[in-house]
Structure 1
Amino acid sequence: MGRKRDQAVLCCWQQASNSRCQATSSQRQAASRSDSSITAAVAATSQQQANQQQQQQQLQQEDNLAEQLSKLRLRYCAADSAAFKAWFPGLALSRTDALQPQAVVLCFHSSGNAEDMFTSEGTGSRRAPSPLLELCRARCWRLLAAQLPGRGLRAKEPPLGTLQEVAQQLLPLVAPALLAAGGRYAVVGHSMGCWAAYELLLLLRQAGFPQPAVACLSAMPWPHIPMQQRPWRQQRLLNEARFKDECRGWDISDVVFSAGMWDMYQPMLRADFKLFDEYTPSSCSSCCNSSSNGSSSGSTSGHACSDSSSRDSLSDPAASSSGCDGPFPRQQQCRFSCPLRLFWGKQDRRVSQAMVQEWASYTSSTCSASSIDGNHLFPLQPAAKQHWLTQVAQSLAESLGSASQTAAAAAAGSGVEVR
């Protein structure tokens, strides 16, 4: 009897103990669920506050941009029609002359070439659709490819003496076009055209324009490369035979040196070579104070340089002695805040990958670089040109597309209709 009673007591004690454990476990689970609910609620509230703050900042940026464009519109009413046609003769051929453009793509050709490297797709069996032009037509973007004096319909015009003069003449022509597009634009430059684009961007920033959504630059060293490091000989020091050799070093076709062609090309080439031979970049000190007014419509996520498509190794100039604080002035406010997309030719005998990648120090935003399987003049090599323009078009689609809402709102606030 005693043993049975002890067993019954033990059983009752175990049941009570189990009940207490189950109750404690339930309480703990309930407390854990309560803590999780509180944590989730706090996180949701914080995210909501962050979203609201981001929306307020975006609205403020849109208001600032709209006000900025309104002021600029008072200064830049309309471009001179004759000058505009002279500088952009390929606009009709490109079929990108939208009446209500959603963006502008500014293009700058290399020395010895013309704007049709961007606006022409060829004819007949040589026709090759341009990924860049197709994108511009599809997105209602206006492609403005500048034509320097001394070639094409401007063959009888005297050449300009400096790239600063090029930029100064372009500013009053480009400004109204940018305003009509709500301040949305991108830049594409090849070889000497990169330095022309750089000078125009300095003037646009000084005038108070937003910075481009992206700048695609190819086959040219950074603007502040010292004279003694420039990988070419100045044309003014060369006789005709040596100048021909210098031109060949830039991969200029032998056709140019043939009888009847050289007499036509030599004056243009010497004038173009003079532009980059004797180029001294403009000081950014005059536009540093206004740089804060020219915020980029692109990303400002931080300075980096990566090889995004060719997968060739590419060091980060920010981590090297010749990077951000090397070739470019040390003032942070002198850098642009737009992303850079860089290209170099694998068979380029003049401009190396290292020279191109130094452009990364000219932006506080992101930078990516790719190689093109071609020589210095790869825009004249069909396969290389297709590869290059495909990547340029992709960069423009990503950068200009991400800025559409802000630009559209700014344009609406400035009285510009954007479709």
Structure 2
Amino acid sequence: MTAAASPPETWLRRFGPPADGPVRLVCFPHAGGGASSFHSLARALEPGADVMAVQYPGRQDRRHEPPLTRLSELADAIAGVLEASVVRDGTPYALLGHSLGALVAYETARRLDRSGATPHRLFVSARCAPTVAAGPTDHLADDDALLAEVRALGGGDALDDPEVRAMALPALRADYQALRSYTWQDGPALRCPVTAMTGTQDRLCTPAQANDWLRLSVVPGRARTFRGGHFYLQDRVTDVAQALLMDLGLRTQQAAAAGTTAA
């Protein structure tokens, strides 16, 4: 069975029993990351949102599967899985992607939007809009450069362990290959609002650059800024959860404490 033809349970993870919230949030990990990177956020969002995280092939409990090296293949497969499961049961749903996951979530949202299964909202985090020229990645073609890049972004402590590094590198190689091969194709704007989120010290995407995401939808969105670097989402779990709940329409005043720039 190919990755694209795998059943939903192959792709989607929960961190406990389904939450009894009115909205389902599907989360897309960063390059080299797995579904477990959203465990803390899922807990912080309970019981307001039912959180599921995507598990890409080639990592964690799918580490024996070959990873996909084209972003379009990931988006095609995940859109099909969501149409067969999340969309079918009728629960309103939103997508959240961090870093590489922001692009995968966006391309997945485009596919679902075209099929008439428009998400309730799209959250994109720590990644510039695909309409903005990304920095070159040719220098990341070997393992040492990849590891140096991950460490520079603040996400590489676990990679000091040789066993962890050996397990993580195949997924990292595949994900950065997917980034290098990705080219944005013009098309209809999304019909759902977009929340663009970034850290104040993220060298890959500044708060000003994050605003470009808002031009990719016909529905007004907003930009949110949180203190921290590229992995602010792991350091500011409570603030991020409050902001997500507010933008999902599940909470209002409680999110006021989160660092926010409306656009």
Range into which the TM-score falls when normalised by the shorter chain: 0.7 to 0.9
Distance 2:16 2:179 in 1: 28
What residue in structure 2 maps to residue 391 of structure 1?
243
> Hey, what's the Cα distance between the residues in 2 that align with 1:250 and 1:277?
18
Residue of structure 2 in register with 1:366 after alignment: 220
Of 92, 99, 113, the residue aligned with 1:184 is 92
Asked whether the 8 Å contact 2:19–2:47 carries over to 1, the reply is no
Match of residue 311 from structure 1: none
Partners in 2 of 1:97 and 1:180 — Cα distance?
A: 18
Q: Indicate the residue corresponding to 1:241 in structure 2.
A: 144
Q: Is the 8 A contact 1:109 1:115 kept in 2?
A: yes
Relative to structure 1, the CA distance from residue 151 to residue 87 in structure 2 (aligned partners, 3 Å threshold; closer, same or farther) is: same
Does the 8 Å CA contact 1:232/1:246 hold for their aligned counterparts? no
Q: Single out whichever of 246-255 and 143-152 deviates more from structure 2.
A: 246-255
Write the mapping of 1:174-213 to structure 2, written as runs, cut at 5 A.
174-182=82-90, 184-209=92-117, 211-213=118-120
Describe how 1:91-170 pairs up with structure 2 within 5 A: 91=14, 93-96=15-18, 102-118=22-38, 120-121=39-40, 130-136=43-49, 142-170=50-78
Structure 2 partner of 1:224: 131
Q: Does the CA contact (< 8 Å) of 2:128 and 2:205 recur in 1?
A: yes
Aligned partners of 2:123 and 2:103: how far apart in 1?
12
Alpha carbon RMSD of aligned pairs, Å?
2.6
Given that residues 224 and 280 in structure 1 are in contact (C-alpha distance below 8 angstroms), is that contact kept between their aligned partners in structure 2? no
Q: Which amino acid aligns with 2:32?
A: G
Which residue number corresponds to residue 260 of structure 1? Answer: 163
Distance (whole Å) between structure 2 residues aligned to residue 184 and residue 396 of structure 1 = 10
Structure 2 Cα separation of the partners of residues 260 and 143 of structure 1: 30
**Alignment TM-score, normalising by the size of structure 2:** 0.83
More strand by percentage: 2
Q: Secondary structure at the residue paired with 1:134?
A: coil
The 8 Å contact of residues 57 and 68 in structure 2, kept in 1 or not, is answered as yes
TM-score normalised per structure 1: 0.54
* Aligned mate of 1:87, from 11, 15, 20: 11
Counterpart in the other structure of 2:259: none
What is the CA–CA distance in structure 2 between the aligned matches of 1:380 and 1:238, rounded to whole Å? 27
Deviation of residue 350 (structure 1)? 2.0
Q: For each residue in 1:167-221, what CA deviation from the matched residue of structure 2 results, as whole angstroms up to 9, or x when unmatched?
A: 2112232113344443622111111111111111121122222x22221211111
Give the conservation status (yes or no) of the 8 Å contact 2:19–2:46: no
| 1-structure distance, mates of 2:84, 2:183 | 28
Structure ranking higher in helix proportion: 1
Whichever residue aligns with residue 17 of structure 2, its letter is R
Name the residue aligned to 1:405.
none
Instruction: Look up the match of 1:325.
Output: none
Query: Which amino acid in the other structure matches residue 59 of structure 2?
Result: R
Q: For residues 255-295 of structure 1, what are the alpha-carbon distances to aligned partners after superposition, in whole Å with 9 as ceiling and x for unaligned?
A: 313433322222221111122222112442xxxxxxxxxxx
SS in 2 for 1:341: strand
How far apart in 1 are the matches of 2:153 and 2:232? 11
Q: Paired residue for 2:256?
A: none
Contact 2:122 2:194 in 1 (8 A): yes
Alpha-carbon separation, structure 1, partners of 2:225 and 2:22: 30
In structure 2, what residue type is equivalent to 1:224? T
Query: How far apart are the structure 2 equivalents of 1:95 and 1:282?
Result: 38
CA distance in 2 between partners of 1:135 and 1:97 (Å): 8
Q: Contact 2:95 / 2:105 at 8 angstroms: preserved in 1?
A: yes
2:207 matches 1:353: yes
CA contact (8 A) 2:34 2:60 kept: yes
Residue-by-residue CA offset, 1:120-170 (whole Å, 9 max, x unaligned): 24xxxxxx883323212xxxxx43311101111100100112111112112
Alignment partner of 1:370: what SS? strand
Aligned residue identity for 1:191: S
Alignment partner, residue 271 of structure 1: 174
Partners in 1 of 2:191 and 2:116 — Cα distance? 14
